Amino acid sequence: MNINQRPKMSVYIAISIDGYIAKKDDGLDWLESFSPPFDEPDEDYGFKKFLSQVDAVVMGKNTYKIASSGNIWPYEGKRVIVLSSTLSSVCDNAEIYSGNIQQLIKKLYAEGVRHIYVDGGKTISQFLNEGLINELIISIIPVILGSGIPLFSNIVHDSWCDLTSSTSYSNGLVQLRYEVKNHG
């Protein structure tokens, strides 16, 4: 798929220092207890700005289950596609897709989607393996979990990246932005 004839695809995710996105039991308490810098209580590390720039969100079923379990739907006003061959239904704010990823991307592009937020460890790895990710925004939380669910798994080839920016916050969070150079 020609990179100029498909949406830009970005990842925005938090990881522990040792590369985990969740504990083994899908626990995210280590994220919930991590507060923004005390001198900037409304700091969201650029998430609202990032979300305002995307047209759609594509996520795996595990990420969907976590996102939909809260009191507030975090993707209000965005088209949300949940990749799953086992879910029979999702909330009114989302839709299920179980086909070929390349076909989904072509369909979304034809429908006017120009920027996709890709979320969920397995989904991110799948998109990376297919050469679809353009940008990685990774916020490193200053905690070592020791075990859990890694951000990347079953990667089939090297994907070289260029660091485009790095920002450190007073509470220890470091946010790295990378442009992924290799595309399929």
Domain edges within the chain: 3-11+45-159+169-180
- The b/e string for 139-151 (b: 16+ C-beta within 10 A; e otherwise) is bbbebebeebbbb
* pTM of the predicted model as reported, rounded to 2 decimal places: 0.92
pLDDT at 36: 63
Question: Beta strands 79-83 and 94-97: pairing type?
Answer: parallel
pLDDT at 86: 94
Centre a 10 Å sphere on the Cβ of residue 82 and count the other Cβ atoms it contains: 25
Q: Which CATH architecture has domain 3-11+45-159+169-180?
A: 3-Layer(aba) Sandwich (3.40)
Strand partners, 161: 180
Sequence-distant contacts of 97-103: CB under 8 A, at least 24 apart? 97/58, 101/126, 101/127, 101/130, 101/132, 102/1, 102/130
Query: What are 136's two structure tokens?
Result: 């990685």
pLDDT at 109: 96
- d(C-alpha 161, C-alpha 181), whole Å: 5
Chunked into runs of 10 residues, the chain (184 residues) has average pLDDT values of 82 97 89 68 85 96 90 90 94 94 96 97 95 96 95 92 95 95 66
pLDDT in tens, 7-47: 999 999 999 999 999 999 888 888 877 766 656 667 789 99
Distance set, CA 27 to CA 14, 21, 93, 107, 137 (Å) = 13, 9, 24, 34, 21
